[in-house]
Every structure is written in C-alpha cells, then in structure tokens.
Amino acid sequence: QKEVEQNSGPLSVPEGAIASLNCTYSDRGSQSFFWYRQYSGKSPELIMSIYSNGDKEDGRFTAQLNKASQYVSLLIRDSQPSDSATYLCAVKNDMRFGAGTRLTVKP
Amino acid sequence: EPEVTQTPSHQVTQMGQEVILRCVPISNHLYFYWYRQILGQKVEFLVSFYNNEISEKSEIFDDQFSVERPDGSNFTLKIRSTKLEDSAMYFCASRGPVNTEAFFGQGTRLTVV
C-alpha cells in the first residue's frame, strides 16, 4: 500500500462551487498533515497544515482530519479559476507527497 | 521573508557528466529535502537530511545520487554520470522543528542532453 494516496483527478468544478480533495495514508502514527498547491511550472506552496482531528478553517479553505479513518481532506469554498492547480497532500515529518489531484475551476 | 534559494535555475549537461545542484535552506531550519518532478508527473521524494546525515531515502535515490551539507548553509545534491531520464525539475525544501511545514525553493530544471 502506498504511504499517501490521492485521486489524481482531474477534478473539474464550476466557479463558485465547493471543491473537495481527499487523501488517505497508511501510517497510523502520522501526526502532521499538510496540503500544498502547485501551479504548473512552479514549486509547491503550503496552503494548510493540520495536526488534530476535526476541521481547521482558513479563509475559503478547510482541512479535515480523521485519524481513525486515516484520511485528510481539503475543501475549497467559492472556488475560483485561480484555484486551478495540482493539490498535494503530505503526511508526517518525512514530507512524502501523494500523487496530487489536479483541480480545474471553470468560469 | 526568509526563503529557500536554489541555484542554478536551469542546468544543461551532457549525458554521463556529473552535476551539483545547490540549495540554501532557511537559516535555523533543521530538516532538508530533495524532490524530483519529471515534466507532467508527480513530485517524487528523493531524500531527507537531518543532523548531518540522511534520515530517509527513496528507491530513486541510488548510488548515483549523494547529498551534502558542506558548510552549514548550503545543501547540495550531486548526480553522478547523468542519464537522459534524470532530466527533471529538482526541488529543495527545508523546515524547522518537528511538525512544522516545509518551504520549497523555486527549483532547478535539469536537462540532460
């Protein structure tokens, strides 16, 4: 089983909709979880970090962590075309990424 | 704002040559990483480095690769005897204590011809 798994997409949503991105992980001992965004040709940039079960909100972004089920998700509310990018989930301290989910927000 | 700096931004090398990719992590960061991203593909973990030694490495990181922190500020990735398939973007990242996020450099695009 891969350490970190994401649906590679592509995921397409209309502008203004909620985009939901999911990530599952295999190591039950993982304690830190990160969502990065990568625009084409650019380096990954951090969007959210989450360490405790539950939801963490930052503007239009909400990260959700469920350690019992070993998944972490990212919700993007009121999606904008500028949110079109690949979203990478990283788990635990060795910063291994999932394959990334490519999101397209259509105007 | 502190940032991770990578040089050069683009390196072209002939097959079989050795290349050294350089990174200056954010000062006072403790953990350092190298990643590879072949065009159109995912970001692949190569190696993590802590306390002057490799802490984890992937199956990609074979004897062709080595890392070094030669002077307490630079963090380098050496690729010996480059192959065409080594052509990729290489990202360096650093982070502070445990459970903090990593920051990425802008990458070095390596082209092997």
Per-residue pLDDT tens, chain B, 113 aa: give them: 779 999 999 999 999 999 999 999 998 899 999 999 999 999 999 999 998 999 999 999 999 999 999 887 899 999 999 999 999 999 999 998 877 889 999 999 999 99
Pairing of strands B31-37, B88-95: antiparallel
In A, minimum Cα distance to B3 occurs at A45
C-beta atoms of A97 and B45 within 8 A: yes
Beta bridge partners of A73: A22, A64
How distant is the Cα of A65 from the closest Cα of chain B, in angstroms? Answer: 15
Check: CB of residue B11 under 8 Å from CB of residue B110: yes
Cis check: omega of the bond before B97, within 30 degrees of 0:
no
Q: Which of B42, B102, B107 is the closest to A95 by Cβ?
A: B102
pLDDT value of residue A85: 96
| A93 contact residues in B (CB cutoff 8 A) | 31, 98-99
Coil vs helix vs strand at B85:
helix
pLDDT value of residue A97: 87
Q: Which of A43, A46, A94 is the closest to B101 by Cβ?
A: A46
Rounded-to-integer distance, Cα A88 and Cα A43, Å:
11
| A31 contact residues in B (CB cutoff 8 A) | 99
pLDDT per residue over A41-61, tens digit each?
999 999 999 999 999 999 999
Picking from A6, A22, A3, A8, the residue whose alpha carbon sits closest to that of residue A76 is A22
For residue A1, what are its two tokens?
Answer: 């089983």
pLDDT per residue over A11-43, tens digit each?
999 999 999 999 999 888 888 899 999 999 999
Check: CB of residue A96 under 8 Å from CB of residue A5: no
Give the phi and the psi of residue B84 in degrees, each rounded to 5.
-55, -40
| A50 contact residues in B (CB cutoff 8 A) | none
Q: Which residue type is seen at A66?
A: N
Size of interface A-B (CB pairs under 8 A): 46
Contacts of range A60-68, beta carbons closer than 8 Å, 24 or more positions apart = A61/A35, A63/A33, A63/A35, A65/A33, A67/A28, A67/A30
In A, minimum Cα distance to B91 occurs at A43
pLDDT value of residue B66: 97
